[in-house]
Amino acid sequence: MIFSLIIYASQTASQSEQSALRFTRNALQQGHTFHRIFFYGDTVTSMSNLKITSRDEIDITDQWLELAKETDLDLVVCIAAAVKRGILDQQESKRHQKSAANLKEGFCLSGLGQLADAIIHSDRVITFGN
Amino acid sequence: MVTQKKLLLIFRNPPFSSSANRDNLDIALACSAFDIPVSLLFLNDAVLQLHKNQQSHLLEQKDLTKTLNALEMYDIDQCYVIDEHLARYQLSKDDLILNCHSLAREKLASFIHDFDVVINL
Amino acid sequence: MTSSTLHIINKAASNSQLYRDCLDSLHDDDGVIFIESAVYTACGAEPEMFSNFNITAYALKTDILARGIQDKISEKITVVDDGEFVELCCLYKKSVSWF
């Protein structure tokens, strides 16, 4: 079965992103595939490479990247949600004449069209939110 | 050939409380541009988002009314509210900026049942 | 494969409006799964609020164990592990998340 996920939650305020990650791991283990993981709303603030995770905590963002390395997950961060919250890739940084880019490598900024495309091409779309 | 899926977006928040209603509307516009048939359901406090005479400039916020009024241009004309939720705020359909279908609360379950994908922000 | 909906709820039952909306949305043969803070709703007499509905109620084992409430889960609840949660999402035609 082809899944896509919408993650709409703040990493600091809820467990939802963790639930989504566990769901993804288990579905992959069962042989299912993922068309896309779409990060929307406050979730996008987690994708800053300026974020510091204390040493006794697990950085979920890094866990996504590790999983993506093994399984080719398409991790898309909503561009409108991201720039509004100060999460910029090189291109957006340049476009808006900012001094730096901070989107964590491995994630890609793109529009809501990617969510529409995920709805069209997935058997199941599951939302994890808070 | 990909079969066409019917998408329902559920709104649950009053105006100005969070970005959820705007985020949900943006999904509606994007999906409609991809020819996905979109319906909108405004539950409970979200009916207040449709109330006429809002003056968002007093809060220095952007108004969703313009976007809501533009929905028809995107061929999104399937908007639903629940009778009982309107009544709770002493609203009638005439108080709303959109032309909405009203549903009895008892019909909600079978209404949702008919969709293929539901996003509930 | 069922044509029904899996309702995924992740807040405790003190969020009464959320639960009322979820209850109003339940169709015959739908499923409800309690995850995250909603696993507390699987305890004791709480599941009674779903007893008028012809649905199956599940709760996610990992979230139950994490909260140490495994002895308090009502027998009306089917406890599922993470893999079974994925299977439920395949079994039901679609999901609606309540948060």
Q: What is the pLDDT of residues B12-22, one digit of tens each?
A: 999 999 999 99
- Asked if the Cβ–Cβ distance from A29 to C83 is below 8 Å, we say yes
Q: Do B44 and C24 touch (CB under 8 A)?
A: no
Residue B3 has pLDDT above 70, yes or no: no
Reported as a single tens digit per residue, the pLDDT across B81-120 is 999 999 999 999 999 999 999 999 999 999 999 999 999 9
- Determine the structural domain holding residue C36 and report its residue range: 5-98
CATH label of the domain that carries residue B115: 3.40.1260.10
CATH number of A2-129: 3.40.1260.10
Tokens describing residue A55: 């040493």
Side-chain-side CA neighbours of residue A45 (13 Å): 11
Secondary structure (DSSP) of chain B: -PPPPPEEEEE---TTS-SHHHHHHHHHHHHHHTT--EEEEE-GGGGGGGBSS--GGGGT---SHHHHHHGGGGT--EEEEEHHHHHHTT--GGGBSS--EEE-GGGHHHHHHT-SEEEE-
- B98 occurs within a structural domain: yes
Question: B93, B86 in Cβ contact below 8 A?
Answer: yes
Query: Does residue B2 belong to any structural domain of this protein?
Result: no
Residue B8 has pLDDT above 90, yes or no: yes
Smallest CA-to-CA distance from B21 within B54, B53, B52, B43 is with: B43
Whether A106 has a pLDDT exceeding 60, the answer reads: yes
Which C residues 1-60 touch A at CB under 8 Å? 8, 10, 35-37
Confidence check: pLDDT of C1 > 80: no
**A28 interface with C at CB cutoff 8 Å:** no
- pLDDT recorded at residue B105: 97
**Is B113 among the domain residues?**
yes
Query: B9 and B41 in contact (C-beta within 8 Å)?
Result: yes
The per-residue pLDDT of chain A, averaged, comes to 96
CA distance readout (Å), B100 to B42, B82, B96, C43: 9, 10, 8, 40
Q: Name chain B contacts of A117, Cβ cutoff 8 Å.
A: 34
pLDDT for residue B2 is more than 60 = no
Sheet of B101-103: strands edge to edge? B101-103, B78-82, B38-42, B7-11, B117-120
Over the stretch C45-90, which tens digit does the pLDDT of each residue have? 999 999 999 999 999 999 999 999 999 999 999 999 999 999 999 9
Task: Check if C16 contacts B (Cβ < 8 Å).
Answer: no
- Which chain A residues are closer than 8 Å to B20 by Cβ? 41
CA angle C12, C19, A38 (to 5 degrees): 75
Looking at the complex, does the CB of residue B44 fall below 8 Å from at least one CB of chain C?
A: yes
CB contact under 8 A, A127 and B120: yes
Give DSSP secondary structure letters for chain A.
Answer: -EEEEEEES-TTT-SHHHHHHHHHHHHHHTT-EEEEEEE-GGGGGGGBTT----TTS--HHHHHHHHHHHH---EEEEHHHHHHTT---HHHHHHTT-S---BPBTBEEE-THHHHHHHHH-SEEEEEE-
**B44/C21 touch (CB, cutoff 8 Å), yes or no:** yes
pLDDT value at residue A13: 82
Residue B3 touches chain C, beta carbons under 8 Å: no
Phi, psi of C98 (to 5 degrees): -115, 115
Over residues A13-42, mean pLDDT: 97
Total domains in the fold of chain B:
1
Stretch A14-24: mean pLDDT: 96
- Whether B110 is covered by a domain: the verdict is yes
CB pairs < 8 Å spanning A and B: 46
Q: How many angstroms separate the CA atoms of B51 and B95, rounded?
A: 6
Residue C70 belongs to a domain with what CATH number?
A: 3.40.1260.10
Share of residues in chain B with pLDDT > 90 (%): 91
Residue C23: which pLDDT band, with cuts at 50, 70 and 90? very high
Residue B1 has pLDDT above 60, yes or no: no
Kindly identify which residue of chain C lies nearest to residue A9, measuring between CA atoms. Answer: C99
Angle at B46 between CA B28 and CA C39, to 5 degrees: 90
Strand partners for B10: B41, B120
A37, A78, A83, A88: which one is catalytic?
A: A78
- Mark whether A108 is an active-site residue: no
Q: Report how many domains make up chain C.
A: 1
Mean pLDDT of A100-122: 98
- Report pLDDT for B63: 81
Partner-chain residue, chosen from B117, B120, B121, that has the shortest CB–CB distance to A119: B117
pLDDT, averaged across chain C: 96
Distances (CA, A) of A54 to A16, A86, A104, B65, B76: 20, 22, 17, 43, 46
- Please name the residue of chain C whose CA is at the shortest distance from the CA of residue A2: C90
Taking residues A2-26, what's their average pLDDT? Answer: 95
